Amino acid sequence: MFDLKRFAAAAITVALSLGMAACHGQSPASSNYIPVGSTGASAPQFGGTDVSPEGRSPIISLCGDVIKIKLLGYVHCKFREKGYNGVFKLVNHALGLLDLKPLLGNEKTNFLLGGLALGDGFFLVKDLRHHVLKIRVRIVLL
Residue 99 sits at φ, ψ, to 5 deg, of: -110, 125
Q: What is the mean pLDDT of residues 84-107?
A: 96
Q: What is the pLDDT of residues 66-90, one digit of tens each?
A: 999 999 999 999 999 999 999 999 9
Domain regions of the chain by residue span: 4-27+49-140
What pLDDT, in 10s, does the model give residues 10-50? 556 555 454 444 443 333 343 333 343 334 444 444 555 44
Per-residue pLDDT tens for 50-61?
A: 444 446 899 999
Q: Which of 94, 92, 116 is nearest to 102 (CA)?
A: 92
For residue 5, give the DSSP letter.
H
Q: How many CB atoms lie within 10 A of CB 20?
A: 13
Task: Indicate the helix (H) or strand (E) that contains 108.
Answer: none
4-27+49-140: CATH topology: Immunoglobulin-like (2.60.40)
Residues 59 and 117: their CA atoms lie apart, in Å, by 27
- For residues 46 and 40, is the Cβ–Cβ distance under 8 A? no
Beta bridge partners, 14, equal: none
